[in-house]
């Protein structure tokens, strides 16, 4: 009470002191990362740089965007309040919604990209993850969330159609579908590479299916709706399956669970098809509860592990591959390829699909878009930093031995060792065998895809806290954690792809639109599984290593979707008369468009067969034409010709789609600037809010007073009757 | 002193349990019942079993709800 008058100056001083300290911590982290050469740096400095930067970005930049640019209005009712139907529109406690939103946006992406980008050293990737999230990724998530909230939770595609036009809208829809297919193929490839020839991993992941079926049955029949208790039971069963996996791997059953990559592809595609046709309650819903629990739990453990163990980074800050563009994990130079390899964690177009659609229908207060949109993305970015740390605490020799495609390393084990030593890293065959033995895997050579590398890094960090005896357990724990939610994503993604397909084909043949029409359901599910299954099969059979080929395609498509989302945001800012603030999303848009279109250009037109798809195809074609190839070599060359053509055409298609969206949006924007009177707003009209709820995680003094006056707890709620003015 | 710390441990535990139940959607039914009682006092209230069935069926009809990202 008295603090309101006399406390303002000490409060201000205290705030200045606190933020100066935060800035200094961040700056110290950056200095240590950037300046230390030749000696190993503690990962704690990376954490300091990240957390210091996030805190400042959140405190200052996101506040500026929320109040100056978007002008969030706490007196304006959100769709959750106006349309509350107890189903999809419902005001949700900000802390709960934060968890929901974070669980929805975070998946395997931020764990894989940074691991691959680590081939260029820890510094380029870390700078992009942190700067990218503050100025682009978190901005995109928050601005999309805001505009969708003002439009009753319209999806990105609907907003593109309404605000830009039918051409832009259709291009955006097609882009989303194509991207979904590539995404599913890449995620499945990560699982295949992690589980191939690993009976322990395959058994424990396989067990998740009966566990989920049991949970589904429990929720449907025995105790409907008791999700928390069944999830706890599920997690315990999951850990038991993990422990049993070790025993199985040592028993006579091991052979049955030792699968080649090819058979895993067949299993995965069959699984995803069946799962996507089964009712949601049976497999998808319970799996989703399990993976959410595992996801949040493991990320929490990882934070604790990194802080307690404070491991040192063994990778160089910047490796020679960054400048030469000859990296064995993915080809191409630092610009533009670091910026498309690390998508999730810095800027992920996919998030715009979550930020429009589901979350905006549950936001209690407009002021909360800052905490939920911007804040969740910062948390996801910190997960990417953890993945970068996990990859960089490994010996670089081990890292490159695991992540280089066999075709790059050579024919025999001795060649592999020689290649890696030739790059200047120390590694012997015995070292590699010892690493494999420590995590109880048959071999670690060429285990591309990021998941095994991440898992070894995690096992290293955890084992330094719990002792080496548990290292193999932690390795398989991390593999299971990643594979678990990738399998959930395959099921959910196939369903979404099918839904889009049904919706589109339904315009041609009516019954397809009915989602419960069985023949349509099965045919569309089969088409979607067939499409991503094709890319997966190709990736597995690819002599150059599928990740090498597919991951750039995935990164390009994801970032191009980000470009579409940022285009919609920029158009909306301009159309709503905020031209002077259009740079807030305009600059990230230009950046992502330039990097991604450059990457697409290089992937299509580069004459270097390591980078350009068509150049690679031409090289293989020339080899076929020379008539000197036979047997497997000839088959390989033919596969390369087909694959590179498909990949090249897709890269070009993505780029063209995005150019169409941007050009169409530019037309709309210019018209809006020239003739402001013609702009039609699709915003829902203002309705006064009867809700009181804090904007941030912790309520401010004023908000607490407001809540107390309304007789509400810390979560806020509806004030019945006319709003009472709260005395200042 | 010990009574106090037991009490505070209990309240922390209760808060975590509250969060877990909210996050998993276990409280959806309670919220639905409260919603019906308040806004449509004359309408019948579904049983929990029927409500939970309808909830997963809705996800079936539009899988974009509850979609997970990369």
**How close A352 comes to chain B (CA, Å)?**
10
Long-range contacts of A622-631 (CB under 8 A, 24+ apart): none
- Would you tell me how many other CB atoms lie within 10 Å of the CB of residue A320? 13
Tell me the pLDDT band of B1, cut-offs 50, 70 and 90: low
The chain A residue lying nearest B32, using CA atoms, is A86
Cα distance between residue A615 and residue A195, in whole Å: 32
The chain B residue lying nearest A97, using CA atoms, is B23
- Chain A residues within 8 A of B53 when measuring between CB atoms: 220, 224, 281
* 8 Å CB contact between A513 and A204: no
Tell me the pLDDT band of B3, cut-offs 50, 70 and 90: confident
Name the least confident of A332-336, A591-595, A676-680, B38-42: B38-42
Cα distance between residue A28 and residue A697, in whole Å: 27
The answer to whether the Cβ–Cβ distance between A228 and B68 falls below 8 Å is no
In-domain check, residue B32: yes
Which helix (H) or strand (E) segment holds residue A291: the answer is: helix A284-309
Partners of A41 in the beta sheet?
A313
Average pLDDT over chain A, rounded to whole? 92
Q: Tens of pLDDT along A282-309? A: 999 999 999 999 989 999 999 999 999 9
**How close B14 comes to chain A (CA, Å)?**
13
The residue behind tokens 């150059």 is: A544
In-domain check, residue B67: no
Tokens matching residue A254: 């091991």
| Total structural domains within chain B | 1
The answer to whether the Cβ–Cβ distance between B29 and A225 falls below 8 Å is yes
* 8 Å CB contact between A120 and A391: no
* 8 Å CB contact between B68 and A107: yes
pLDDT value at residue A407? 78
Overall average pLDDT of the A397-411 stretch: 89
The answer to whether the Cβ–Cβ distance between A227 and B19 falls below 8 Å is no
Which helix (H) or strand (E) segment holds residue A718: the answer is: strand A717-718
The answer to whether the Cβ–Cβ distance between B35 and A84 falls below 8 Å is yes
Q: CA nearest A392: which of A601, A599, A124? A: A124
Q: Look at residue A587 and tell me whether its pLDDT is greater than 50.
A: yes
Tell me the pLDDT band of A40, cut-offs 50, 70 and 90: confident
Measured CA to CA in angstroms, residue A213 lies from A209, A248, A256, A347 at distances of 6, 21, 22, 35
- Chain B residues within 8 A of A108 when measuring between CB atoms: 70
The answer to whether the Cβ–Cβ distance between B64 and A224 falls below 8 Å is no
Q: Look at residue B69 and tell me whether its pLDDT is greater than 80.
A: no
**DSSP3 helix / strand / coil % (chain B, rounded to 5):** 70, 0, 30
pLDDT value at residue A723? 40
The answer to whether the Cβ–Cβ distance between A516 and B61 falls below 8 Å is yes
The chain A residue lying nearest B62, using CA atoms, is A499
- Domain positions in chain A are 80-197+260-271+317-473+496-678
CA A16, A21, A27: angle at the middle one, nearest 5? 125
pLDDT value at residue A6? 43
The answer to whether the Cβ–Cβ distance between A344 and B17 falls below 8 Å is no
Cα distance between residue A129 and residue A172, in whole Å: 26
The answer to whether the Cβ–Cβ distance between B68 and A489 falls below 8 Å is yes
Q: CA nearest A592: which of A563, A617, A621? A: A563
* 8 Å CB contact between A549 and A189: no
Cα dihedral: A571, A572, A577, A583 (round 10): -60
In-domain check, residue B66: no
Cα distance between residue A385 and residue A244, in whole Å: 32
Q: Tens of pLDDT along A223-260? A: 999 999 999 999 999 999 999 999 999 999 999 999 99
**How close A28 comes to chain B (CA, Å)?**
32
Q: Look at residue A680 and tell me whether its pLDDT is greater than 60.
A: yes
- Chain A residues within 8 A of B65 when measuring between CB atoms: 88, 357-358
Q: Which chain B residues in 5-64 lie under 8 Å from chain A, judged by CB atoms?
A: 17, 19-26, 28-29, 31-32, 35-36, 39, 48-49, 51-53, 56-64
Tell me the pLDDT band of A720, cut-offs 50, 70 and 90: low
The chain B residue lying nearest A714, using CA atoms, is B15
Cα distance between residue B60 and residue A284, in whole Å: 10
The answer to whether the Cβ–Cβ distance between B26 and A227 falls below 8 Å is yes
Minimal Cβ distance to B69: which of A285, A288, A354: A354
The answer to whether the Cβ–Cβ distance between A288 and B29 falls below 8 Å is no
| Count of CA atoms in the C-beta half-sphere (13 A) of A646 | 16
The answer to whether the Cβ–Cβ distance between B52 and A289 falls below 8 Å is no
The chain A residue lying nearest B17, using CA atoms, is A228
The chain A residue lying nearest B37, using CA atoms, is A86
- Chain A residues within 8 A of B25 when measuring between CB atoms: 227
Tell me the pLDDT band of A66, cut-offs 50, 70 and 90: very high
Cα distance between residue A419 and residue A380, in whole Å: 35
pLDDT value at residue A631? 85
Minimal Cβ distance to B26: which of A225, A354, A495: A225
Residues in chain A: 728
In-domain check, residue B68: no
* 8 Å CB contact between A657 and A160: no
The chain A residue lying nearest B39, using CA atoms, is A85
Q: What is the DSSP letter of A2?
A: T
Q: CA nearest A179: which of A554, A532, A655? A: A554
Cα distance between residue B32 and residue B48, in whole Å: 10
Measured CA to CA in angstroms, residue A196 lies from A294, A460, A487, A554 at distances of 22, 21, 15, 22
**How close A100 comes to chain B (CA, Å)?**
7
Q: Look at residue A576 and tell me whether its pLDDT is greater than 80.
A: yes
Name the least confident of A87-91, A335-339, A619-623, A650-654: A87-91
Cα distance between residue A633 and residue A272, in whole Å: 32
* 8 Å CB contact between A614 and A643: no
Containing structural domain, residue B11: 2-61
Given CB atoms, is B4 within the 8 Å cutoff of chain A? no
Overall average pLDDT of the A650-662 stretch: 91
- Chain A residues within 8 A of B56 when measuring between CB atoms: 279-281, 285
In-domain check, residue B37: yes
- Chain A residues within 8 A of B17 when measuring between CB atoms: 228
The chain A residue lying nearest B64, using CA atoms, is A496
The answer to whether the Cβ–Cβ distance between B36 and A105 falls below 8 Å is no
* DSSP three-state, residue A404: coil
Minimal Cβ distance to B69: which of A90, A220, A350: A350
3-state secondary structure A292-314: HHHHHHHHHHHHHHHHHHCCEEC
CA A42, A462, A98: angle at the middle one, nearest 5? 85
Cα distance between residue A210 and residue A283, in whole Å: 9
The answer to whether the Cβ–Cβ distance between B63 and A499 falls below 8 Å is yes
Cα dihedral: A311, A313, A314, A318 (round 10): 180
The answer to whether the Cβ–Cβ distance between A104 and B32 falls below 8 Å is no
Cα distance between residue A81 and residue A687, in whole Å: 10
Cα distance between residue A505 and residue A524, in whole Å: 9
pLDDT value at residue A1? 36
**How close A496 comes to chain B (CA, Å)?**
6
Cα distance between residue A26 and residue A636, in whole Å: 50
In-domain check, residue B11: yes
Q: Look at residue A724 and tell me whether its pLDDT is greater than 60.
A: no
Which regions of A233-296 does DSSP assign to beta strands (E)?
A: none
Cα distance between residue B43 and residue B28, in whole Å: 18
**How close A301 comes to chain B (CA, Å)?**
17
Overall average pLDDT of the A89-96 stretch: 93
Q: A58-81: buried (b, 16+ CB within 10 Å) or exposed (e) per residue?
A: beebbeebbeebbebebebbbbbb
* 8 Å CB contact between A595 and A559: yes
């Amino acid at each position: 009470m008295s603090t309101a008058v006399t406390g303002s100056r000490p409060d201000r001083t205290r705030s200045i002191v606190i933020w100066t300290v935060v800035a200094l911590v961040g700056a110290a982290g950056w200095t240590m990362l950037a300046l230390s050469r030749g000696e190993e740096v503690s990962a704690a400095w990376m954490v300091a740089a990240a957390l210091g930067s996030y805190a400042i970005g959140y405190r200052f930049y996101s506040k500026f965007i929320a109040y100056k640019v978007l002008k969030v209005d706490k007196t304006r009712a959100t769709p959750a309040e106006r349309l509350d139907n107890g189903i999809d529109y419902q005001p949700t406690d900000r802390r709960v919604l934060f968890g929901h939103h974070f669980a929805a946006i975070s998946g395997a992406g931020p764990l894989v990209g940074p691991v691959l980008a680590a081939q260029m050293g820890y510094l380029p990737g870390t700078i992009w993850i942190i700067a990218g999230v503050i100025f682009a990724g978190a901005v995109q998530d928050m601005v999309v969330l805001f505009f969708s909230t003002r439009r009753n939770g319209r999806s990105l595609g609907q907003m593109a159609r309404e605000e830009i036009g039918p051409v832009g809208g259709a291009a955006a829809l097609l882009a989303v579908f194509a991207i979904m297919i590539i995404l599913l193929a890449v995620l499945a490839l990560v699982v295949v590479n992690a589980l191939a020839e690993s009976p322990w991993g395959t058994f424990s992941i396989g067990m998740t299916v009966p566990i989920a079926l049991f949970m589904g049955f429990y929720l449907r029949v025995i105790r409907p709706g008791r999700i928390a208790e069944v999830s706890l039971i599920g997690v315990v069963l999951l850990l038991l399956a993990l422990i049993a996996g070790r025993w199985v791997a040592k028993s006579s059953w091991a052979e049955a669970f030792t699968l080649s990559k090819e058979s895993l592809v067949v299993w995965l595609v069959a699984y995803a098809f069946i799962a996507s046709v089964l009712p949601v309650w049976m497999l998808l819903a319970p799996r989703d509860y399990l993976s959410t629990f595992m996801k949040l739990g493991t990320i929490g453990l990882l934070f604790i592990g990194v802080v307690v163990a404070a491991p040192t980074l063994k990778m160089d800050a910047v490796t020679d591959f960054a400048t030469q563009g000859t990296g064995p994990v993915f080809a191409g130079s630092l610009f533009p390829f670091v910026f498309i390899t690390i998508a999730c964690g810095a800027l992920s177009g996919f998030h715009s699909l979550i930020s429009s659609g589901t979350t905006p229908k549950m936001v209690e207060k407009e002021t909360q878009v800052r905490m939920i949109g911007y804040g969740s993305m910062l948390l996801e970015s910190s997960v990417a930093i953890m993945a970068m740390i996990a990859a960089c605490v490994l010996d670089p020799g081990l890292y490159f031995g695991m992540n280089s495609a066999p075709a790059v390393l050579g024919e025999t084990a001795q060649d592999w060792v020689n290649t890696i030593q030739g790059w200047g890293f120390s590694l012997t065959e015995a070292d590699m065998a010892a690493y494999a033995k420590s995590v109880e895997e048959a071999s670690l050579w060429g285990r591309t895809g990021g998941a095994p590398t991440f898992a070894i890094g995690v096992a290293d960090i955890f084992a330094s806290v719990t002792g080496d005896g548990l290292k193999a357990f932690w390795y398989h724990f991390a593999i299971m954690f990643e594979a678990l939610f990738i399998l959930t994503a395959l099921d959910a993604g196939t369903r979404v792809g099918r839904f889009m397909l049904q919706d589109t084909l339904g315009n041609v043949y009516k019954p397809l639109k009915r989602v419960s029409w069985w023949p349509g359901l099965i045919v569309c599910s089969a088409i979607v599984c067939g499409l991503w299954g094709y890319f997966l099969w190709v990736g597995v059979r690819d002599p150059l290593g599928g990740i090498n080929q597919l991951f750039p395609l995935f990164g390009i498509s994801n970032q191009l979707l980000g470009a579409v989302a940022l285009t919609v945001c920029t158009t909306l800012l301009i159309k709503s008369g905020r031209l002077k603030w259009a740079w807030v999303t305009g600059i990230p848009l230009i950046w992502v468009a330039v990097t991604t279109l450059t990457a697409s250009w290089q992937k299509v037109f580069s004459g270097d067969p390591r980078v350009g798809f068509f150049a690679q195809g031409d090289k293989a074609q020339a080899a076929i034409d020379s008539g000197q190839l036979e047997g497997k070599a000839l088959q390989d060359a033919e596969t390369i010709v087909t694959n590179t053509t498909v990949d090249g055409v897709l890269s070009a298609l993505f780029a063209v789609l995005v150019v169409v969206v941007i050009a169409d949006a530019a037309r709309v924007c210019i018209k809006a600037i020239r003739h402001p009177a013609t702009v039609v707003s699709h915003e829902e009209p203002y309705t006064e809010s009867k809700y009181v709820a804090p904007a941030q995680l912790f309520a401010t003094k004023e908000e607490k007073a407001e809540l107390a006056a309304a007789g509400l707890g810390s979560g806020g709620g509806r004030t019945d009757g006319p709003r009472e003015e709260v005395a200042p | 002193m010990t009574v106090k710390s037991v009490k505070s441990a209990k309240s922390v535990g209760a808060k975590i349990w509250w969060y877990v139940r909210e996050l998993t959607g276990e409280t959806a039914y309670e919220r639905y019942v409260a919603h019906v009682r308040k806004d449509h006092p004359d309408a019948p209230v579904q049983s929990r079993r029927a409500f939970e069935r309808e909830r997963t069926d809705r996800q079936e009809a539009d899988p974009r709800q509850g979609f997970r990202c990369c």
